[in-house]
């Protein structure tokens, strides 16, 4: 993880100083921003390896920042970990839909935050280095190496989380997975998430997959599976 650069966008200066100290102590290069506007500007300029993003920012809030980051090609692939307050479940779900890769709820232990940072950077490295074979399922093609999904020759735009869920399910057609198993597979065993957020990801996938949305089946009382008889 040496020489990895992390951008922290947080308006609480005491918390920003604490996070900055622990990141530096762990060997990371650190950039900071107190506002969403400044954070976006620095993200474009320094191209960090990871962004820690507070959702409750003044003026331009964290969700708007995340949306802007993921909409711009130069920053769209930078992993984002949201820093959230208790009771922000709806915002957490929205952030995950927008493409954030993880979240940490305040107040948090520095050890927990460092573990999440390390996991996100590791996952990003694996994503960039992977060269898995394309998955062809009916009219759907999933290309892990390019992070690309095609339906009848047309590209489909998915968030990072949606892509990971689709790749996991499509890679094991016919297998039934619980929501908990899906979360473990795409985010790690220590990731805390609600069943509702998994349902949100599936609903978003079905909508974006259009004619291929029916490939993902709900198994009542259990979870989800990808059809194996296409």
**Same domain (yes/no): 114, 201:** no
Look at residue 193 and tell me whether its pLDDT is greater than 70.
no
- The mean pLDDT of 100-124, rounded to a whole number, is 86
Q: Are residues 117 and 161 part of one domain?
A: no
- What CATH number corresponds to the domain at position 200? 1.10.10.10
List the CATH number of the domain containing 27.
3.40.50.2300
Range of the domain at 211: 132-226
Same domain for 77 and 23? yes
Whole-model pTM above 0.75? no
Planar angle of CA 225, 229, 230, nearest 5 degrees: 100
- Whether the predicted pLDDT of 131 surpasses 50: no
6, 30 Cβ separation under 8 angstroms? yes
Given a cut of 70, whether residue 191 has pLDDT beyond it is no
Name the region of 127 (left: φ>0; alpha: ψ -120 to 50; beta: rest): alpha
- The percent of residues in the chain predicted with pLDDT above 70, rounded, is 90
d(CA 228, CA 93): 29
Q: Judge contact between 28 and 7, C-beta under 8 A.
A: no
Average pLDDT in the 62-72 region? 90
Is there a single domain that holds both residue 53 and residue 167? no
Are 69 and 179 in the same domain? no
* 54, 120: one domain: yes
Q: How many domains does the chain have?
A: 2
pLDDT tops 70 at residue 177 = yes
Domain finish residue from 128, 147, 163: 128
Confidence of residue 41 (pLDDT cuts 50, 70, 90): very high
Boundary of a domain, candidates 128, 149, 184: 128
Please check whether residues 96 and 137 belong to one and the same domain: no
* Buried residues in 155-180 as b, exposed as e (16+ CB within 10 A): ebebbbbbbbbbbbbbbeeeeebebe
Based on the number of CB atoms within 10 Å of its own CB, is 96 exposed (0-12), middle (13-18) or buried (19 or more)?
A: buried
Same domain? For 102 and 182 the reply is no
Which of 128, 149, 167 finishes a domain? 128
- The residue-averaged pLDDT of 127-140 equals 75
Cβ neighbours of residue 104 closer than 8 Å, sequence gap 6 or more: 81, 82, 83, 84, 112, 113, 116
Spatial contact of 200 and 159, defined as CB atoms under 8 Å apart: no
Among 49, 11, 47, residue whose Cα is nearest residue 32: 11
The answer to whether residues 120 and 157 belong to one domain is: no
Residue 87 is predicted with a pLDDT of 67
Say if residue 87 is in the same domain as residue 158: no
Of 171, 147, 134, nearest in space to 73 by CA: 147
> Residue 179 corresponds to which tokens in the numbers above?
């929501």
């Amino acid at each position: 993880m040496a020489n990895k650069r992390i951008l922290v966008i947080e308006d609480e200066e005491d918390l920003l100083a604490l996070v900055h100290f622990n990141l530096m102590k762990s060997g990371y290069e650190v950039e900071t921003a107190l506002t969403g506007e400044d954070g976006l500007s620095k993200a474009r300029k320094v191209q960090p390896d990871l962004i820690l993003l507070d959702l409750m920012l003044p003026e331009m809030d964290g969700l708007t920042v995340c949306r802007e980051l993921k909409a711009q090609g130069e920053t769209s692939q930078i992993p984002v970990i949201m820093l959230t307050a208790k009771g922000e479940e709806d915002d957490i779900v929205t952030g995950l839909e927008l493409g954030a890769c993880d979240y940490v709820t305040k107040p948090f232990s520095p050890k927990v935050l460092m573990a999440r940072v390390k996991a996100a950077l590791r996952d990003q490295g694996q994503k960039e280095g992977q060269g898995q074979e394309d998955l062809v399922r009916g009219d759907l093609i999933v290309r892990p190496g390019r992070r690309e999904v095609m339906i009848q020759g047309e590209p489909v735009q998915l968030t990072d989380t949606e892509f990971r869920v689709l790749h996991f399910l499509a890679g094991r057609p016919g297998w039934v997975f619980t929501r908990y198993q899906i979360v473990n597979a795409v985010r790690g065993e220590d990731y805390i998430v609600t069943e509702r957020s998994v349902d949100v990801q599936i609903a978003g996938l079905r909508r974006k997959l259009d004619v291929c949305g029916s490939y993902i089946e709900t198994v009542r009382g259990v979870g989800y599976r990808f059809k194996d008889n296409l």
